[in-house]
Amino acid sequence: MTRRVLIIGAGLTGLALANGLRCADDIEITVVEQAPVITEAGWAISLTDRHLDALRQLGLAPQELTADRLARTIMYDPNTSVPVGIAAMDGVVTTRSELQLWLWEPVGELVRTGIAPVSITDNGACVEVGFSDGTAGEFDVVVGADGINSWTRRSVFGGPDPAYAGSAVVRFQVPNAAGLHLAGMTSDGRLSLFVLNRGTVLHGVVFLPGEPDNRSDCTLTELAEDYADLSGPLAGLIKAMRTEPVGFYANINQVVTDDWAVGRIALAGDAAHAMSPRLGQGAGVGLQDAALLSELLTLPDLPVQSALAGYAGIRRPAAQLVQQRSHAATLRIGHPGSALELHTQANL
Ligand SMILES: Cc1cc2nc3c(=O)[nH]c(=O)nc-3n(C[C@H](O)[C@H](O)[C@H](O)COP(=O)(O)OP(=O)(O)OC[C@H]3O[C@@H](n4cnc5c(N)ncnc54)[C@H](O)[C@@H]3O)c2cc1C
């Protein structure tokens, strides 16, 4: 019998799940996305080898994704500029828009854009969902992949709301004028750069640990003053900050919940476990959710409720471990040497 699956949200997790399910003959997929058009900002996303394995499980070929190999990261003492550590991470770094469009391509025709759910009821035999365009549908499975502020989480589980995780972050991109080929970071973990877009772009990240909105009134030039004495490869980034490239400031929030699945409804990705980007794992953990969900939902003879309960039981401890480590690492930002321990944890 055909299994009708509704995915709420065409972000990275929702699209990944649609990719995983699309090859099964007996699955009918609907994806609803509130945004009228997919126009995601292109910030850096790192994917470790485990996350790339999840893409393979979803039937995708990650070698076809436009991405740079995640280079070794040199860590510099912020006072002396001397290299004090080298972290090797296995994986790739790409942009969120690149990854989203790549995931979109095989399944875009399944996505109804500009539509959000307005009601949801699991009556045991199916889930009845009403949509913002006045239509309604019945589904055997509903997966809320609707991000950190998940409507599904609020409507089905009553929360929780996202909570501040201890730091803000500013991101910006500048041309790689000096031809840097290795990522870099201050050993206190506050300032870092990735090399992106086939070596042409530097992606800069400044973490601002402290209270919410910490230094939100500062320009990049003012933030650069903290590192005015840096020399060596990171000095180029400081110089670029003084040109005031467009910077995106955000408080870092997380969602911690044990309520991942009930009956025929489950949460996945940021909806279930939004986490600090400190360890660069959030997107990849969502891809791992999608891979397991897709495996379990396509197993013959496994009832939906058992598949979703199994998914939650297997994925939740793993995702929450990464989330706890990301949070702990966030709380250590700014302490001398905190970045040196960072990368020993990065390949969870
Ligand atoms: C600054 C920063 C840096 C990051 N860096 C990394 C990194 O290096 N590596 C990494 O792995 N992760 C990183 N992440 C995390 C990563 O971006 C997220 O974990 C990932 O995008 C989550 O994907 P998602 O599909 O679960 O949610 P989202 O990408 O948020 O997608 C949710 C989708 O659902 C849609 N939606 C929302 N509500 C509704 C509704 N009611 N109805 C229909 N549609 C709805 C939204 O429009 C959106 O398209 C970072 C995050 C931040 C903030």
> Which of 7, 13, 169 for mutating ligand 1's site (highest number of atoms within 8 Å of CB)?
13
Give the burial string for 91-123 (b: 16+ CB within 10 Å, else e): bbbbbbebbbbbbbebbeebbeeebebeebebe
The answer to whether residue 261 sits within a structural domain is yes
The answer to whether residue 236 sits within a structural domain is no
What's the first-to-final CA gap in the chain, in angstroms?
38
**Atom 21 (ligand 1) nearest CA:** 283
Task: Please say whether the beta carbons of 11 and 103 come within 8 A.
Answer: no
For residues 213-238, give the mean pLDDT.
Answer: 92
The answer to whether residue 21 sits within a structural domain is yes
Distance CA 186, CA 192 (A): 6
Ramachandran category for residue 155: left, alpha or beta (phi over 0 → left; psi -120 to 50 → alpha): alpha
Closest among 277, 296, 312, 317 to 47, alpha carbons compared:
277
Give the burial string for 7-17 (b: 16+ CB within 10 Å, else e): bbbbbbbbbbb
Q: What is the CATH number of the domain that holds 44?
A: 3.50.50.60
Query: Would you place residue 149 in the very low, low, confident or very high pLDDT band (cuts 50, 70, 90)?
Result: very high
The answer to whether residue 234 sits within a structural domain is no
144 lines ligand 1 (CB under 6 A): no
| Closest atom of ligand 1 relative to the 51 alpha carbon | 11
The answer to whether residue 233 sits within a structural domain is no
**1 CA to centre of ligand 1 in angstroms:** 33
Residue with tokens 């005015």: 228
Q: What is the pLDDT of residue 348?
A: 45
**14 CA to centre of ligand 1 in angstroms:** 10
Model confidence pLDDT, tens digit, residues 260-311: 999 999 999 999 999 999 888 999 999 999 999 999 999 999 999 999 999 9
Distance CA 273, CA 257 (A): 7
Task: Please say whether the beta carbons of 315 and 292 come within 8 A.
Answer: yes
The answer to whether residue 258 sits within a structural domain is yes
35 lines ligand 1 (CB under 6 A): yes
Query: Would you place residue 41 in the very low, low, confident or very high pLDDT band (cuts 50, 70, 90)?
Result: low
3-class secondary structure per residue, 226-291: HHCCCCCHHHHHHHHHCCCCCEEEEEEEECCCCCCEECCEEECCHHHHCCCHHHCCHHHHHHHHHH
The answer to whether residue 346 sits within a structural domain is no
Q: What is the pLDDT of residue 23?
A: 86
Total domain count, the chain: 1
Domain residue limits at 41: 3-64+94-163+253-335
Query: Would you place residue 325 in the very low, low, confident or very high pLDDT band (cuts 50, 70, 90)?
Result: very high
**130 CA to centre of ligand 1 in angstroms:** 23
The answer to whether residue 319 sits within a structural domain is yes
**166 CA to centre of ligand 1 in angstroms:** 19
Q: What is the pLDDT of residue 177?
A: 86
**280 CA to centre of ligand 1 in angstroms:** 13
Comparison of pLDDT for 89 and 243, the residue scoring more: 243
Average pLDDT, the chain: 92
